[in-house]
Amino acid sequence: MSYNYRSNVVNSEQMRRIEGAIFASGMPVAALMEKAALLTAQQLKKSYSLANFPKIGVIVGPGHNGGDALVIARELHLAGYQVSLFCPIAKLKDLTAQQANYVKHLGLIFQKTLESLEDCQLIIDGLFGFGLERTLSADIAELVDKINSWQKPVISIDIASGIHTDTGEVLGTAIKATHTFCLGLWKRAFFQDLALPYLGKVELIDIGISPLDLETILQDSPPILRVNPDLIRPYLPLPRPLLTHKYQQGHLLIICGSRRYAGGAILAGLGARGSGVGMLSIAVPAALKSLLISHLPEALIIDCPETATGAIAELPLELNNYHVLACGPGLTTENPAIIEQVLDSDKPIILDADALNILAQLGIEKLSSRQNKTILTPHWGEFKRLFPNLSGSQDRINITQEASQQSGAIVLLKGARTIIASPGGKMYLIPESSSALARGGSGDVLTGLIGGFLTQMPDNAPEATALAAYLHAQAGILAAKERTELGVDGVTLANYLFAALKDSIPPAPLDKGGADRRGDQN
């Protein structure tokens, strides 16, 4: 396990212990405060120039978050900004009180009312940092609501005040930051959908936590990892060996589609195409065969007997002839026997859409006898049907982990921040996405993409799932930038998968002598 500040995500207790280890090894508390605040001030000055934001208001809390804010205020003052301070809580921690005394010595003034800061162009929120668990008091809540009503840019230090560090819950009310500088390590709230409207643009400030200190605290806990290109690059099935052929690059079967939902089959196939899978077979109702061939000429289209309403009636093929099975897009819930047949196979499977709805009817206990990997890809509505005992919690990270433990499956919970949990405890969090993906068909593309990557990297199922989810999100972001969010339909999204891959992962190196790695074409 590699401990890297850009990847590891911690809860508030882990962050306390990591800071404790740093202090125990000799780093003075004041020195760490100075370091974190100075680095934040540097980034703040780059993003918010003196010319555009000459007057800055700083809200100072009683703890070390307030101390950080005071160091930042000092540095901005020395850089020429006109800084006004307001501290709504009289009793300060010792170190914060020392910082307050020093800024007073420099001539900064603590204003008596919050309204004195209303003419500032920018507000810095230094009320509360990580670890807040209680609902804000009435007077602080009123202050927060007033700041939000100003509709000015607000910078939060570490996390927006009023947000629970782990669950992302709003503790009564919370600062609606436009920019949050997270100090040291990513906190769980940054990947909870509840918190996202309050965090704005997020940026991590590297304060130089050593891998040794991280390992000391995190070694006994399954890792929670924020996916980034450096993390996924080692798992990508590239470069391919020179001597290879299509079946060595995996054979995926997608079972999907119906007369009513033909598009789901096409989009799942396009998603699989975007993975570069060696061989793709798609089982659909017979009436859809010519349609699928016209969109996916490279795929082997298997026509299945149909029900009277145009759903798959039975699968006239041997499932164990394929490396991976993906099932669900456009399937309908008409024939549960199809899903039972898939569950009985000894191959890795991905279940999505109507396959999940049928599984919810059958019960997740049906997964207990499976000997190979199962990947479930629910959105929130499907998740609630699969795991009704977990749907009362708003902590998406925790309930995804619990769902994986209960089902023995890898669970990918879709959302603004997609979460992937494996039965072994390892978790992957997708750091960004686009509302362009909130459109019918996006999930079908993801199903095919996961299936294609899993087929090529069967020994790394959690990583294949995370890789697919990351590139799916990046394709949505890239397509939205070039087309606007309204212009990203499922086909467009699939067409941007290769561009997202190219942007995230450098091209494979050339062999000596200039030969490329395309391999045998048989």
Q: Parallel, antiparallel, or unpaired for β 410-413 and 419-421?
A: antiparallel
What would the two tokens of residue 393 be? 């919690």
How many CB atoms within 10 Å of residue 509? Answer: 10
- The verdict on whether residue 168 carries a ligand-binding annotation is no
Q: Note whether 348 and 324 are within 8 A (CB).
A: yes
The reply to whether 444 sits in an annotated binding site is yes
**Under DSSP, is residue 474 helix (H, G, I), strand (E, B) or coil?**
helix
Q: CA-CA distance, 87 to 111, in Å (whole number)?
A: 8
Does the annotation list 289 as a binding residue? no
Residue 253 is given by DSSP the state: E
Is 11 annotated to bind a ligand? Reply is no
Is 320 assigned a ligand-binding role in the annotation?
Answer: no
Q: How far, in Å, CA of 57 to CA of 120, rounded? A: 6
Q: Is 352 marked within a binding site?
A: no
Distance between CA atoms of residues 335 and 343, nearest Å: 14
**Residue 269 is assigned to a ligand binding site:** no
Q: Is 415 annotated as belonging to a binding site?
A: yes
Which tokens go with 256?
Answer: 């999907």
CA distance 483 to 476: 10
Residue corresponding to tokens 């280890």: 21
Give CA–CA dist 290/292, Å, rounded.
5
CB atoms within 10 A of CB 235: 17
- Residue 370 annotated as lining a ligand binding site: no
Asked whether residue 55 is marked as a ligand-binding residue, the answer is no
Nearest Cα to 208, choosing from 24, 67, 14, 39? 39
Does the annotation flag 307 for ligand binding? no
Region of 47 on the Ramachandran plot (φ > 0 left; ψ -120 to 50 alpha; else beta): alpha
Q: Which residue has the tokens 């603004």?
A: 416
Query: Is 80 among the annotated ligand-binding positions?
Result: no
On whether 133 is known to bind a ligand per the annotation, the reply is yes
Strand, helix or coil for residue 228: coil
The reply to whether 366 sits in an annotated binding site is: no
Q: Is 130 annotated as a binding residue?
A: yes
Do the beta carbons of residue 118 and residue 150 sit within 8 Å? yes
The answer to whether 23 is a known ligand-binding residue is no
Distance CA 176, CA 163 (A): 10
Q: In the numeric block, which tokens belong to residue 110?
A: 């603590």
Structure tokens at 513: 């002598």
Residue 299 near residue 280, CB atoms below 8 Å: yes
Q: Is residue 402 annotated as involved in ligand binding? A: no
Tell whether 166 is in a known binding site.
no
Task: Centre a 10 Å sphere on the Cβ of residue 462 and count the other Cβ atoms it contains.
Answer: 22
Tell whether 125 is in a known binding site. Answer: yes
Distance CA 242, CA 230 (A): 24
Question: Is 220 known to sit in a ligand binding site?
Answer: no
Laid out side by side, the sheet with 324-327 consists of: 224-226, 427-429, 419-421, 410-413, 374-376, 349-351, 324-327, 251-255, 279-285, 300-304
In the annotated binding site for AMP, the residues are 414-418, 443
In the annotated binding site for K(+), the residues are 65, 125, 161
In the annotated binding site for (6S)-NADPHX, the residues are 64-68, 129-135, 158, 330, 379, 444
In the annotated binding site, the residues are 64-68, 125, 129-135, 158, 161, 330, 379, 414-418, 443-444
